[in-house]
C-alpha cells in the first residue's frame, strides 16, 4: 500500500510505546517489511513532519530503504492552494492531505482526524483531477487495506 500518514498518526505508527500503536502495527509492517511505501511531500506536510522531529530519522531510514515516495512539493502546494481557495470553510486545514492524494494518486490515507476524513471522503474535492477518493485507515479494523490491491501503479514522484 502506498499511503499518506497524517501527522496526527505518526506516533501511532512509529512509536511502539504509544498506547494506540497496536491499532497501527499493520501500517508499520506494511511499510517496513511489506510492499507498502509512505508518501510525503508539500511544504505544509514537511513542516508538520519537522514539528514531529522525533520521527524524522525513521522517515529518512525509510527513504534510504526505498520505502517512501516523495512527491514534488510545488505540485502539492499548487493543488493545496487551489483547494483552499475552493473550500473556504475554516475547518478545512488539511488541504495538503487531499493534494497529496491527488498528486500521488494514493489510495489510502492513515488518519484519525475526523474533520480531515470528512474532506478526504468528499468526491467534489477530486473533481477535475481524475483521481479516486482514498480509503481511510484509522484503526486495526482497517488492516485489510494493507494489501497489494492498494499499491499505486505509476505515481508522479521523485525518490
Tell me, what CATH number does 81's domain have? 3.40.50
Map residue 35 onto helix, strand or coil: coil
Give a yes or no: residue 46 inside a domain: yes
Residue 150 domain flag: no
Q: How many domains does the chain have?
A: 1
- The verdict on residue 95 lying in a domain is yes
57 located within any domain: yes
Q: How do the pLDDT tens digits run along the chain, 159 residues long?
A: 589 999 999 999 999 999 999 999 999 999 999 888 999 999 999 999 999 989 988 999 999 999 999 999 999 999 999 999 999 999 999 999 999 999 999 989 999 999 999 999 999 999 999 898 999 999 989 887 777 666 665 444 444
Closest CA to 2 of 66, 86, 76, 93: 66
In a domain, 14, yes or no: yes
Question: How distant is the alpha carbon of residue 135 from its chain centre?
Answer: 11
Domain range for 38? 2-144
43 contacts: CB under 8 Å, gap ≥ 6: 73, 76, 77, 96
- Considering the domain boundaries, does residue 152 fall inside one? no
Answer whether residue 154 is part of any domain: no
Is residue 151 one of the residues assigned to a domain?
A: no
Quote the pLDDT of residue 142. 82
CB 145 within 8 A of CB 24: no
Residues 6+ apart with CB under 8 A from 13: 5, 21, 24, 27, 28, 31, 110
For 70, the 3-state DSSP assignment is strand
Amino acid at each position: 500500500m502506498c499511503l499518506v500518514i497524517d501527522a496526527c498518526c505518526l506516533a501511532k505508527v512509529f512509536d511502539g510505546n504509544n498506547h494506540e500503536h497496536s491499532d497501527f502495527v499493520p501500517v508499520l509492517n506494511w511499510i517496513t517489511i511489506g510492499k507498502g511505501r509512505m508518501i510525503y511531500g508539500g511544504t505544509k506536510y514537511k513542516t508538520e513532519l519537522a514539528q514531529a522531529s522525533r520521527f524524522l530519522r525513521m522517515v529518512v531510514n525509510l527513504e534510504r530503504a526505498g520505502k517512501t515516495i516523495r512527491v514534488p512539493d510545488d505540485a502539492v502546494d499548487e493543488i493545496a492552494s487551489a483547494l483552499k481557495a475552493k473550500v473556504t470553510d475554516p475547518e478545512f486545514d488539511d488541504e495538503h492531505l487531499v493534494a497529496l492524494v491527488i498528486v500521488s494518486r494514493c489510495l489510502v490515507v492513515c488518519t484519525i482526524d475526523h474533520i480531515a476524513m470528512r474532506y478526504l471522503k468528499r468526491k467534489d474535492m477530486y473533481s477535475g483531477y481524475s483521481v479516486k477518493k482514498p480509503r481511510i485507515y484509522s484503526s486495526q479494523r482497517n488492516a485489510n487495506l494493507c494489501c497489494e490491491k492498494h499499491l499505486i501503479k505509476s505515481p508522479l514522484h521523485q525518490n
